[in-house]
Amino acid sequence: MNVQLRFWNSLDELKQHCFYIYRYKEDLEKHNRNMNMFLAFVSNSSIGAWIIWQELDWLWAAMVAISQVINAVRPYLATENRLKALRSIYPEMESIFLKYENQWYAVSEGRIAEDRIFALVGEMDKEKNQLFNTHLEGLALPTRESALDYAKDAARSFFRSRYGIVEN
């Protein structure tokens, strides 16, 4: 494969990964926000005093019990740790993309030798993997289909508007 094409494809994949991480993080933020709202609702004493709970006391008791379980296990939930990691990964991954995108002009104009372009591709992959391994520290990140679909569409739009090119 042409080494410039390899550089371009790595850049393309890196941008898709940026969008993937962004969407993954947003989904987990939403999940986290909903959980916080539930916990705030149940722990609010004035809401607990509503007359309706006299009729539905079993429901209120169940909600209180669930909130206590959530509070107890929350620090150990993988979702919490994933969210923390993704909050750090996303901005750093965008920085890596910008760093290598800035090299694209010189690469495309033939101003950088083939062996140097090949080395740049290796450095890009290495930086991305290091970033991921450092922040996730062995924590699994299951593939999220909705985030993948979003990443592909967003990257297509990005390259179309930035470089005026037709997608594959």
Partner 1 sequence: MSGKKHNDGDFSNKGFGLPPLEPVSKMPPIKKPPKPDKNESSGGKQSG
Contact yes or no for 155/20 (Cβ under 8 A): no
Residue 26 corresponds to which tokens in the numbers above?
């947003």
CB atoms within 10 A of CB 118: 13
Binding test (CB under 8 A) with partner 1, winner from 42, 96, 121, 151: 151
> What does the radius of gyration of the chain's CA atoms come to, in whole angstroms?
23
φ/ψ of 142, rounded to 5, equals -60, 140
Binding test (CB under 8 A) with partner 1, winner from 8, 38, 53, 97: 8
Contact yes or no for 124/8 (Cβ under 8 A): no
Q: Which is nearer to partner 1, 72 or 166 (CB)?
A: 166
Please report whether residue 168 would count as binding partner 1 according to CB under 8 A.
Answer: yes
Residues 107-126 within binding reach of partner 1 (CB under 8 A): 107-115, 117
* CA-to-CA separations, 97 to 50, 78, 101, 115, in angstroms, rounded: 53, 27, 6, 20
Question: Where does this chain touch partner 1 (CB under 8 A) — which range of 7-15, 49-57, 64-72, 95-103?
Answer: 7-15
Please report whether residue 46 would count as binding partner 1 according to CB under 8 A.
Answer: no
Q: Which is nearer to partner 1, 2 or 68 (CB)?
A: 2
Question: Where does this chain touch partner 1 (CB under 8 A) — which range of 9-17, 33-41, 64-72, 94-102?
Answer: 9-17
Residues shown for the chain: 168
| Interface with partner 1 (CB under 8 A) | 3-5, 8-9, 12-13, 16-17, 20, 107-115, 117, 128, 132, 136, 140-146, 148, 151-152, 155-156, 159-160, 163, 165-168
